[in-house]
Structure 1
Amino acid sequence: MNLQDFFLAVTITLGFIKICKYLFNFLNWIWIVFLRPTKQLKKYGSWAIITGSTDGIGKAMAFEFASKGLNILLVGRNPLKLETTSKEIIDKHGGNVKVKCVVIDMQDISGKEIMKRVEEAIDGLDVGILVNGAGVAYPYARYFHEVDLDLMDSIIKVNVEGTTWVTKAVIPSMIKKKKGAIINIGSGSTVVLPSYPLVTLYAASKA
């Protein structure tokens, strides 16, 4: 085999491996989305705690879990939104679920205080699922060096530290009963491009 044939064989082999990888990922996606049996969420515990639960994905997951018969602990910084979301869930699902609310502004209190408030809120509850859905994003695209210090501080406190401290508060009970599920809501900005230069800090915090 001459050198040209060797490089051609290597190129074909690498291309075949790459195609197989994409095919495997596609088939895995088909399995997860369409074919995988539905999980019985209540086997983890009777309560789900959701941060960022009054808007977007967090709110949608609160309604979805409630539809499965899980009791919901809503965590957010706006008391009015928490009350509204709680009422909406109860109105839709009647007496099938219980809903509790805890007000926590992760931008304004320490990590230890976040942990303390969550521990107090879940005391006596059989928490089986934690959804870390709270997040702070840029109000508009900008380069990293243009991000003001207050926004930078808020993104790190909520997206990184808040997620860490809430998980720290919830996970001991899951370990004790040897079951539980933790869902961290990320962002497509971490995978759409190898680098996301106009939302660098947000993408890094939601990777």
Structure 2
Amino acid sequence: MEICTYFKSQPSWLLLLFALGSISILKFTLSLINSLYIYFLRPAKNLRRYGSWAIITGPTDGIGKAFAFQLARKGLNLVLVARNPDKLRDVSESIRSKHSNVEIKTVVMDFSGDIDDGVRRIKETIEGLEVGILINNAGMSYPYAKYFHEVDEELLGNLLKINVEGTTKVTQAVLGNMLKRKRGAIVNMGSGAAALIPSYPFYSVYAGAKTYVDQFTRCLHVEYKKSGIDVQCQVPLYVATKMTSIRRASFLVASPEGYAKAALRFVGYEARCTPYWPHALMGYVVSALPESVFESFNIKRCLQIRKKGMLKDSKKKE
């Protein structure tokens, strides 16, 4: 009774502030509990229930290669799609040496070349196969940070062709196979540059292309959910790969193996996710900062990357 009397004696604006504060604390607590469940307690789905074959584009290095090994470890057969036949052979032999029971087919496809011809070969290869998972991993970024007017015609074309056209057409080529069985999972690799960071200057075309991938994926997620097909966009931040030019993994920089292991636990759930939990934490911190503060930091960082890249280019020309 004393508590009720106390509250009744307070001005209405103070009660309103108390109510809003209580709601905010409750929302934060529920969000924290949900995140802890998702990242540490939620069970991964049985990926073999989608089908016995998985397709991976860009599997000869980095995240794509790590995905290939992780899926083989789970007993899935693989269709590996990349432009370099020698690298495809090497990664196939490496996987077979550790997982002799896994069948592997390869498709030579240059995502910066004739995409339609490559898509035709993918369709021929998967004819009659129970394709359960597609991982659209093939992609490219800038060699280093550049102003938009410095992006040459070849780089501009490849950024759009590989990241946008390649992802779109491979998805369409494989989707029919899944629809026949009403089962499948499609994972499109997005980027924190498009989904977690307010703006990504000096990588504008790359960020724009990955924004397309993000929205394209979320639309397909809604379109095909009732057809038994789970479509997901994964948005990592920093991973130690050749594309990012980061050599060593750390707490905030995932190794390809660490990322792929975390990523497969999320397949079949959210339309958009950040599987590696330190990346999600980093994204939360960035979202809590004023955009002007983060932009100031990011511009300085990108200009340093640009300076180093230009210095390397000048040395190559000497």
* CA 1:156–1:91: 2 relative to 1, 3 Å: same
Residue 202 of structure 1: aligned partner: 206
**Aligned counterpart in structure 1 of residue 54 of structure 2, from 48, 52, 56:** 48
Shift of 1:166: 0.4
Between the aligned partners of 1:135 and 1:116, the Cα distance in structure 2 is 19
SS of 1:176's partner is helix
Q: Is the deviation greater in 160-169 or in 22-31? A: 22-31
Is 1:61 the equivalent of 2:67? yes
Which deviates more, 142-151 or 75-84? Answer: 142-151
Task: Give the aligned partner of residue 186 of structure 1.
Answer: 190
Contact 1:115 1:168 in 2 (8 A): no
Amino acid at match of 1:116: R
Distance 2:81 2:114 in 1: 14
CA 1:175–1:155: 2 relative to 1, 3 Å: same
Q: 2:114 aligns with which of 102, 109, 112?
A: 109
1:111-190 to 2 correspondence within 5 Å? 112-190=116-194
Does the 8 Å contact 1:132/1:185 carry over to 2? yes
Q: Percent identity?
A: 52
Is 2:89 aligned against 1:76? no
How many pairs does the alignment contain? Answer: 201
Distance 1:146 1:9, change over 3 A: farther
1:85 pairs with 2:95: no
TM-score (structure 2 length as normaliser):
0.59
Separation in structure 2 between the aligned mates of residue 155 and residue 7 of structure 1, nearest angstrom: 54
Which amino acid counterpart does residue 59 of structure 1 have in structure 2? K
Distance in 2 separating the partners of 1:77 and 1:22: 46
Could you list the runs of 5+ residues in structure 2 that have no partner in the other structure?
Answer: 1-10, 212-318
Distance 2:14 2:206 in 1: 42
Shift in alpha-carbon separation, 1:22–1:120, aligned structure 2, 3 A: farther
Residue 134 (structure 1) shift = 0.3
User: Which residue in 1 is equivalent to 2:35?
Assistant: 29
Q: Secondary structure at the match of 1:59?
A: helix
Letter in 2 for 1:163: T
1:92-125: CA deviation from partner (whole Å, max 9, x where unpaired):
112x211111100011114x32321210111121
Residue identity matched to 1:120? E
Which range is displaced more, 30-39 or 193-202?
30-39
Return the offset for 1:6.
4.6
Specify whether residues 6 and 188 from structure 1 end up closer, same or farther in structure 2 by C-alpha distance, changes over 3 A only: same
For 2:98 and 2:74, how far apart are their aligned partners in 1? 12
The C-alpha deviation readout for 1:154-190, integer Å capped at 9, x for no partner, is 0111101000000011001111111100001111222
Deviation at 1:145, TM superposition (A): 2.3
Name the Cα RMSD after superposition: 2.2
Higher relative contact order (CA 8 A, sep 6+): 1
User: What TM-score comes out, normalization by structure 1 length?
Assistant: 0.88
Q: Based on CA coordinates, which of the two structures has the bigger radius of gyration?
A: 2
| DSSP 3-state at the match of 1:75 | strand
CA contact (8 A) 1:142 1:199 kept: yes
Q: Any idea what SS the aligned residue of 2:140 has?
A: coil
